[in-house]
Amino acid sequence: MPVKKQTSKKKKIDDKAIVSLYMDYVLSHNTEPKNIFLFCKENEIEEVDFYSFYGSIDALKEDIWIKFYENTASNLTKDENFTSYSNRNKLLSLYFTMFEVLTLNRSYVYFTLKDNKEGLKALKQLKGLRTHFKTFINQIIDENEEPKNETIQKITKPIYAEGAWIQFLFLLKFWLDDTSKGFEKTDIMIEKSVKAILDVLDTTPLESVIDLGKFIWKERFN
């Protein structure tokens, strides 16, 4: 009588599991997987399961950054007082919480933005994060209690949101290069740069910009 071959139980997979496996693969091999087939084979998952969540490795890499943001936003909303914070404190909370999340994943972030030698190409994976980030900034502007001329606000919002995004990229670069204990210099930079950008919005920037410039000069050129 022939013995019926037992089929192994199919590994349950979801987007979070794929993200975890991918980040582990990158750090263990010090390189990105050459293709989806090899990645799935090594991790014993079906290609069809991978494609049910991501159409490509690039899409997966972009979603990792979105998940960093979603983790940040989730932590922010746990604070019942967050909605009553001033614009300054909301922005500070966003940056500090975001960099706490990134610090937990620093090895991956460092590899994907610095060690892979892709340069500006690596920024493509931040596309989804940029959208979420700018939406958050626009919400901060909308929640501003001070009424503003509607025409001025239409001009200010996109400029401010884009400026805040560029500021985040600058802080990200600073953090990647920061070797201070507990990344305390990044904390100082966040404080100073947030004050500067909010002062720009209020059209009183000179003192904060000079203060920020002095700090940057001291850290990078002394």
Domain holding 197, by residue range, is: 61-221
Residues 179 and 212 in one domain: yes
Kindly provide the residue ranges of all beta strands, DSSP E only, lying in the chain, ordered along the sequence. none
| Total domain count, the chain | 2
pLDDT attached to residue 116:
65
Residues 82 and 45 in one domain: no
With b meaning 16 or more CB within 10 Å and e meaning fewer, what string describes 104-117? ebeebbebbbeeee
Checking if the pLDDT of 149 tops 50, the result is no
Whether 4 maps to a domain, the answer reads: no
Return the percentage of the chain with pLDDT > 70, whole number.
74
Question: Could you tell me the pTM of the whole model?
Answer: 0.81
Q: Give per-residue pLDDT as tens, 115-143.
A: 666 666 778 899 999 999 999 988 877 77
Has residue 2 been placed in a domain? no
Whether residue 115 sits in one domain with residue 33? no
Q: Has residue 1 been placed in a domain? A: no
Whether 145 is covered by a domain: the verdict is: yes
Q: Which residues contact 81 (CB under 8 A, 6 or more apart)?
A: none
- Span 1-31, pLDDT tens digits: 444 444 445 567 899 999 999 999 999 999 9
Closest CA to 193 of 220, 166, 159, 153: 166
Mean pLDDT of 164-190: 93
pLDDT in tens, 72-130: 999 998 988 988 888 889 989 999 999 999 999 999 999 999 866 666 677 889 999 99
